Amino acid sequence: MRFKFLIILFLFLFITNFAYSHNHYPITRNSVSDILEGKVLYNQNCASCHKANLAGATDWKGLDKDGHRKAPPLNGTGHTWHHDDKTLHAIIKYGLAKLVNNYEGKMIGFGDKLSDKEIDSVLAYIKSFWSKENYEYQLKLN
């Protein structure tokens, strides 16, 4: 009886631990392999809009011809580093349009293409472009 209880307890702990093992914030730029993985994924999924150098669309503060926002820079010259990791992760996973009511954004979410871990790697890659000051400021938001 007692043994069964222990097994159930163990399974329960294992499952809950597993479910929460994603999304270890803050996301750092300490792991070279994460950054390299993020770079490949970024170039495949994000560079078409945010550009290979992360500088964003030309004149990104203006609107495109359909009246939508253009892709902002992610390299630390925009305001990406003012958001905490949870927010950044959610923007990438769900797209901004799903998060903000009555807002039509062009950036669709990547939740069905990238796993949580892959999104974190892309963020590690993005953070590798930020100045030390921006990076350290943003780490403290988490």
Note whether 79 binds ligand HEC by CB under 6 A: yes
Among 80, 121, 128, 138, binds ligand HEC (CB under 6 A): 80
Q: Nearest 5°: CA angle at 81, between 79 and 82? A: 70
Region of 9-17, 21-29, 47-55, 133-141 interacting with ligand HEC (CB under 6 A): 47-55
Given the complex with ligand HEC, which of 70 and 134 has the nearer CB atom? 70
Mention every residue, 6+ apart, whose C-beta is less than 8 A from residue 136: none
The DSSP string of 26-56 is SP-S--HHHHHHHHHHHHHHTHHHH-TTS--
Give me Rg for the CA atoms of the chain. Answer: 18
Size of the site for ligand HEC (CB under 6 A): 24
Note whether 26 binds ligand HEC by CB under 6 A: no
Supply the minimum distance, in Å, between the C-beta of residue 136 and ligand HEC. 18
Which residue ranges make up the site for ligand HEC (CB under 6 A)? Answer: 45-46, 48-50, 68-72, 74, 78-80, 88, 91-92, 96-97, 105-107, 110, 122
